[in-house]
């Protein structure tokens, strides 16, 4: 008897499953390992933290609103009819009304001037953008003309990563230049 056969005989003789001399399969249930639950993350704070810059602007706005506090409250008293009929009081009211009208008119004119100035600046900016766009389109037109003047029998290699729009553009360039019929577009996929 070889050594490994002797081992198997001992195993079979000591094991109750092999008591009848037959070979049987022992099946075991899968082992389940219980893992303690992970601690859940803390709940989000109920009050959101504001962006520091936003908080500063909010503080500044409240500070600026707090800065303007009239020194004393205005008193509104109704004048008696005798005081209203007084010519000096009427003159004083006329002057006051005139000065208020002048300051309001001055403020309105300043606002209109600012609006027209802003409008003129916008128009000037639009004109500059138009000039830049026309120059860019002229530049692109010149580049396309130079492409057409390239020598024939040139192979244009395009990578497979081109977008559909770029592929269509290349096909249109090829169709627009019948004199350069020897161009070949190779799509590298």
How far apart are the C-alpha atoms of 169 and 189, rounded to whole Å?
18
Mean pLDDT for 34-43 is 71
Q: 89 versus 58: which is more confidently predicted? A: 89
Indicate the pTM of the whole model: 0.30
Name the average pLDDT for the chain: 69
SS3 187: strand
How far apart are the C-alpha atoms of 179 and 151, rounded to whole Å?
11
Rounded to the nearest 5 percent, the helix, strand and coil shares of the chain are 60, 5, 35
Cβ contacts of residue 167 below 8 Å, gap of 6+? 158, 187
| Of the candidate ranges 70-79, 96-105, 157-166, the one whose mean pLDDT is the lowest | 157-166
Report the Cα 26 to chain-centroid distance in Å: 63
Whether residue 89 contacts residue 83, with contact meaning beta carbons closer than 8 Å, is answered with: yes
SS3 99: helix
| Terminal C-alpha separation, the chain | 68
SS3 184: strand
pLDDT range class, residue 16, cuts 50, 70, 90: low
SS3 186: strand
SS3 90: helix
How far apart are the C-alpha atoms of 54 and 44, rounded to whole Å?
21
How far apart are the C-alpha atoms of 104 and 107, rounded to whole Å?
5
């Amino acid at each position: 008897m070889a050594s490994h056969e002797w081992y198997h005989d001992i195993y079979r003789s000591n094991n109750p499953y092999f008591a009848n001399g037959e070979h049987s399969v022992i099946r075991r249930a899968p082992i389940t390992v219980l893992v303690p639950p992970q601690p859940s993350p803390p709940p989000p704070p109920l009050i959101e933290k504001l962006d520091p810059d936003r908080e500063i602007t909010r503080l500044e706005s409240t500070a600026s609103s707090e800065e303007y506090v009239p020194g004393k409250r205005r008193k509104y008293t109704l004048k008696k009819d005798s005081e209203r009929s007084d010519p000096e009081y009427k003159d004083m009211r006329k002057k006051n009304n005139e000065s208020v009208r002048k300051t309001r008119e001055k403020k309105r004119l300043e606002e209109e001037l600012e609006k027209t100035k802003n409008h003129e600046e916008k128009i000037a900016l639009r004109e500059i953008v138009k000039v830049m766009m026309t120059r860019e389109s002229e530049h692109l037109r010149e580049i396309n003309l130079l492409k057409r003047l390239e020598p024939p029998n040139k192979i244009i290699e395009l990578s497979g990563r081109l977008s559909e729009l770029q592929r269509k553009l290349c096909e249109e360039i090829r169709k627009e230049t019948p004199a350069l019929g020897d161009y070949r577009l190779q799509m590298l996929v």
